[in-house]
Chains A and B, each alone.
Chain A
Amino acid sequence: MMPRAAVLPPPDFLPEPDMAEPLIEVQNLAVDFLSAEGPLRAVDDVSLSVERGRTLGIVGESGSGKSVTSLALMGLLPRRSARVSGSVRLDGRELLDLPETALRDLRGDVISMIFQEPMTSLNPAYRVGDQIAEAVERHRGGNAAAAWTRAVEMLRRVGVPSPELRARDYPHRLSGGMRQRVMIAMALACDPDLLIADEPTTALDVTIQAQILHLMGELQREAGTGIILVSHDLSVIAETCDEVAVMYAGQVVERAPVAAIFEAPEHPYTLGLLGALPARRARAGGARQRLPVIPGTVPQLHEMPRGCRFQGRCPFRIARCAEPPPMEPVGPGRESRCWRTPLEALAA
């Protein structure tokens, strides 16, 4: 980024863009699903932020609320059955207060998402080129031919071979990897400021996974896109993210710069993810890519413990853990939700 002051002093009646203001800032996000037995809280007190050109990783076991959080940011949770509260500020604008029509203008343009399910996320009835072009036409206007050209160009950029031909294919003709590339092309077609990628590579084999992550990084460097990358895969997080948020049972339990979290995790659950829980150290080898298995299971939504949600599986549990621990700063740019952090002394 070029320092503007060096070229021209900013006119003092215009406020200098506040570089410290994050692209997206989420505060105390909560999602309740309405059910026959009353509301079930799937996401609780989640706070995050991402700056332009940076990547935030979200990790956590299955069911920890990663996808629900992502969909809440997109405003894509079913309005009938989901209640979203808290605050989501994109570029200073409160998204949760925006009317649906205004949100639609942002979706696919300023903020877009790649879904976890590449096999079913494309419409089987239309050619993939048309499905990408549809997003371009929606937000960029112009004629159909220009949108189609853009769709083909995007397919080329995401590394689809012979993009002119593939654009004419229906989704069922493409492999999972190709479909995920189509989804990425679609998500990036309008140069979004924020890209939410929900396990973009889970369904793919390792080489394609690496290609796709590389590609996202490249596009990010070109356009300064902020990325939220949801992943099970700690090695992917380590390689691609600047910051990490660890989710457990609907809450963020630890948030830290990526290097710090791998060096010295502050929450017992993070320790568990890294395979470093004392006495129960998960076996090395085997599923290298996957999260190590932590003994016990994530509590169901309807039987959340009142206190710390990890207490049923935590070797460091003390009496106080029956009370809900707050999210508290534990170092520069770090927060943890545990009564016993800092853990250094305990984990030794």
Chain B
Amino acid sequence: MSRIILRRLMELVPTLLILSVVIFGLQRLLPGDAALAMAGEDATPELIASLRAQYGLDRPLPVQYLDWLGSVLQGDLGRSLRLNAPVGQLLIDRLPVTLQLALMSMLFALAIGLTTGVISAVKRDTRWDHAANVSALIGISVPNFWLGIMMILVFSVGLGWLPASGFTPLSEGLWPGLRSTLMPAIVLGTAIAAIIMRHTRSAMLQTLDSDYVRTARAKGLTERRVVIRHAMRNALTPVITLTALEFGALMSGAILTESIFNLPGFGKLIVDAVYNRDYEVVQGVVLVTALIFVFVNLLADIGYILANPRLRE
């Protein structure tokens, strides 16, 4: 088992290298550079050139890349020219917001997706199953911004239960903190809940029809035990992987959701940075987001190995 996990860790090295090249490269493909942005509209070519020299933008790309990689590895993500602050600090300030939003929406998606998926499969072709399938289809099709606006209209404007925007840190109280990201988390988690539900349902239908579930029934086990211990146990392992992959969709969905609810997270940071051609910040956000994604998938792979007797040995 440890050998498989070790191999999985080794595979991480090329993944991360390619990732860094892509992040660095995409950046340079964008029209205009930081020197242009900094110098302003009517700067002289001389001023631009001197700015370029000052920030090393005139050097060959491979050199710039290695230079960048070197400082990233030392934890230095550069400075935001616009906000005049270290990128690392900006990220650390925004991370709790995005992390709280991501975790809450994932929990929401898993809770809803797994339960409805399992129940749908067990009660297949019943009214409950049809209703759940239709809801899932709606959940996937509804645009985030529309759902967000509707929820704000109902729960903030109409009922006044939840704040329409803004973020309260957990340090100012558990409930006020959770409350401030509750609606955004539901908005963000809805489509993922629907996807998890559909995969769980089809995986469950497959295992419920399997020979070993028939064996479990032949032992006289209760249907509850058959479903939970024999069918779910095997159906949910592939769902681990799926959930980790959906984490990517979740991170990108967070950008839009954070702007709807005006949450000061990664989403807002990167949108502003792109407008301002604040390269270092864009790079930093993308890098950290990608690292989180890679890490979550690594965890999922390890979970999958642990859940699989065949791989565990």
Evaluate contact between B221 and A115: CB separation under 8 angstroms.
no
With a CB–CB cut-off of 8 A, which chain B residues contact A117?
211
**What is the CA–CA distance of A74 and B217 in the complex, to the nearest angstrom?**
10
Evaluate contact between A134 and B219: CB separation under 8 angstroms.
yes
With a CB–CB cut-off of 8 A, which chain B residues contact A124?
212, 234, 309-310
Evaluate contact between B215 and A138: CB separation under 8 angstroms.
no
**Interface 1/0s, chain A 96-119, versus B by CB < 8 A?**
000010001111110011010100
**What is the CA–CA distance of A134 and B216 in the complex, to the nearest angstrom?**
9
- Which parts of B226-243 form the interface with A (CB within 8 Å)? 230, 233-234
Evaluate contact between B220 and A135: CB separation under 8 angstroms.
yes
Q: Name which residue of chain A comes closest to B233, CB basis.
A: A125
- Which parts of B268-313 form the interface with A (CB within 8 Å)? 307, 309-310
Is A170 an interface residue, CB under 8 A from the partner? yes
Evaluate contact between A108 and B219: CB separation under 8 angstroms.
yes
Decide yes or no: A123 and B125 within 8 Å by CB, A108-B218, A134-B221, A138-B220 being known contacts: no
Is A172 an interface residue, CB under 8 A from the partner? yes
Evaluate contact between A135 and B219: CB separation under 8 angstroms.
yes
Is B89 an interface residue, CB under 8 A from the partner? no
Evaluate contact between A172 and B219: CB separation under 8 angstroms.
no
Evaluate contact between B234 and A107: CB separation under 8 angstroms.
no
Is B59 an interface residue, CB under 8 A from the partner? no
Evaluate contact between A123 and B234: CB separation under 8 angstroms.
yes
Evaluate contact between B220 and A139: CB separation under 8 angstroms.
yes
Is A184 an interface residue, CB under 8 A from the partner? no
B235 to chain A, nearest CB (A): 10
What secondary structure prevails in chain B residues at the interface with A?
helix
Residue tally, chain B, CB below 8 Å to A? 21
**Interface 1/0s, chain A 63-106, versus B by CB < 8 A?**
00000000000101000100000000000000000001000111
With a CB–CB cut-off of 8 A, which chain B residues contact A123?
212, 215-216, 230, 233-234
Decide yes or no: A121 and B212 within 8 Å by CB, A76-B217, A80-B124, A107-B217 being known contacts: yes
Is B210 an interface residue, CB under 8 A from the partner? yes
With a CB–CB cut-off of 8 A, which chain B residues contact A172?
309-310
- Which parts of B177-229 form the interface with A (CB within 8 Å)? 210-212, 214-223
**What is the CA–CA distance of A109 and B221 in the complex, to the nearest angstrom?**
11
Which B positions have Cβ atoms within 8 angstroms of A? 124-125, 210-212, 214-223, 230, 233-234, 307, 309-310
Which A positions have Cβ atoms within 8 angstroms of B? 74, 76, 80, 100, 104-109, 112-113, 115, 117, 120-125, 131, 134-135, 138-139, 170, 172, 183, 186-187
Query: Can you report 27 A-B residue pairs in the complex whose CB atoms are below 8 A from each other?
Result: A74-B218, A76-B214, A76-B217, A76-B218, A80-B125, A104-B220, A107-B217, A107-B219, A107-B220, A109-B220, A115-B211, A115-B218, A120-B212, A121-B211, A121-B212, A121-B214, A122-B215, A123-B230, A124-B309, A131-B215, A134-B221, A138-B219, A138-B220, A139-B220, A172-B310, A186-B215, A186-B219
